[in-house]
């Protein structure tokens, strides 16, 4: 029997109507004009709030992928609702959104979990997690035929970041792209958020994965998907992708007009 992960946040974070969802994403993509084109991309950083808040920032990252061909997309997400040690790759057959089902690359997933104690196949972190799910409709809009490897990090400590990056860099090819799902600081004034978020931006700009993990551990800055971002940076450097461009940084106050307690968003592309 086919096991499909049904959408958990359709109608909340994005429209549950296929036609409305399509037009919403197309509208966001149309608003973005990138000054550069990126040939050899290994990964993007994309936020994961409701599309009304972070959709335009996310659209910058997905515009950089538009028209490209990839065999598989590895989506790495934090876990907001469940804590578990290690890294969980969805054990089912597909993830579903209002735009249809995307099959899981089970062969690649099996390679990732082979001889592993930290990385495993399971449902941990996948049941109701929004941070992974909200990336998929964008992918369905900008890419044609692709498989996904849905990964949720239940624990983002350095030991898990390093192991996942090590494993990924050993088996990915240039037909693979990584999407790291992360928002930035939560519920500070716009001014404070800007200070905190600029630290994360600088760590990404300098491709300093360990510096980012350390800064997050020391509460110098905030990023709920700091682990996924660090995994992308480490994997990229292992594979000799050493250029990065911050495409957009914003916060929820830009949309809501309430600057007293904002959530920060950033999108970036890593390429060579």
The per-residue pLDDT for 232 is: 98
In degrees and rounded to multiples of 5, residue 32 shows phi and psi of -100, 130
Positions in the chain whose pLDDT score sits under 70: none
**Distances in whole angstroms, Cα of residue 111 to Cα of each of 3, 84, 105, 125:** 20, 21, 10, 20
Beta bridge partners of 39: none
pLDDT at residue 114 in the model: 96
Q: What is the CATH number of the domain that holds 171?
A: 3.40.830.10
Looking at residue 197, its pLDDT comes to 97
**With a threshold of 0.95, does the pTM exceed it?**
yes
* Cβ count near 140 (within 10 Å): 19
List all residues 6 or more positions away from 266 whose beta carbon is below 8 Å from its beta carbon: 45, 47, 57, 182, 184, 197, 200, 201, 204, 246, 248, 249, 250
* Residue carrying the six token digits 């549950």: 16
Which pLDDT does position 243 carry in this prediction? 97
Residue 35: give the domain boundaries.
Answer: 4-271
Give the per-residue pLDDT at 225: 98
Q: How many domains, the chain?
A: 1
pLDDT in tens, 182-238: 999 999 999 999 999 999 999 999 999 999 999 999 999 999 999 999 999 999 999
pLDDT of residue 85: 94
Q: Which two tokens stand for residue 131?
A: 């941070």
The pLDDT value given to residue 228 = 98
Q: What is the pLDDT of residue 106?
A: 98
Q: Tokens in use for 20?
A: 């409305």
**249 three-state secondary structure:** strand
Confidence at residue 234, expressed as pLDDT on a 0 to 100 scale: 98
């Amino acid at each position: 029997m086919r096991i499909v992960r049904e959408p958990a946040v359709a109608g909340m974070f994005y429209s549950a109507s296929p036609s409305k969802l399509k037009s919403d994403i197309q509208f966001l993509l149309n608003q973005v004009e990138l000054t550069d084109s990126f040939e050899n991309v290994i990964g993007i950083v994309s936020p994961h709030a409701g599309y009304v808040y972070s959709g335009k920032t996310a659209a910058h990252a997905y515009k950089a992928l538009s028209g490209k061909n990839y065999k598989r997309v590895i989506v790495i997400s934090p876990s907001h609702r469940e804590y578990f040690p290690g890294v969980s790759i969805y054990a089912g057959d597909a993830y579903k959104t209002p735009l249809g089902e995307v099959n899981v690359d089970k062969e690649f997933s099996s390679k990732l979990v082979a001889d592993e104690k930290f990385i495993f196949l399971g449902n941990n972190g996948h049941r109701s997690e929004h941070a992974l799910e909200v990336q998929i409709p964008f992918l369905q809009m900008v890419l044609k035929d692709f498989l996904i490897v849905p990964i949720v990090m239940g624990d983002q400590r350095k030991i898990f970041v390093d192991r996942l990056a090590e494993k990924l860099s050993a088996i990915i090819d240039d037909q693979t792209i990584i999407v790291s799902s992360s928002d930035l600081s939560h519920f500070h004034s716009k001014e404070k958020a800007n200070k905190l978020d600029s630290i994360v931006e600088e760590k990404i700009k300098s491709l300093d994965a360990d510096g980012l993990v350390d800064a997050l551990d020391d509460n110098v800055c905030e990023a709920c998907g700091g682990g996924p971002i660090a995994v992308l940076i480490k994997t990229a450097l292992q594979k000799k992708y050493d250029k990065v461009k911050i495409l957009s940084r914003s916060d929820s106050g830009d949309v809501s007009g309430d600057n007293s307690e904002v959530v920060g968003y950033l999108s970036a592309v890593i390429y060579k």
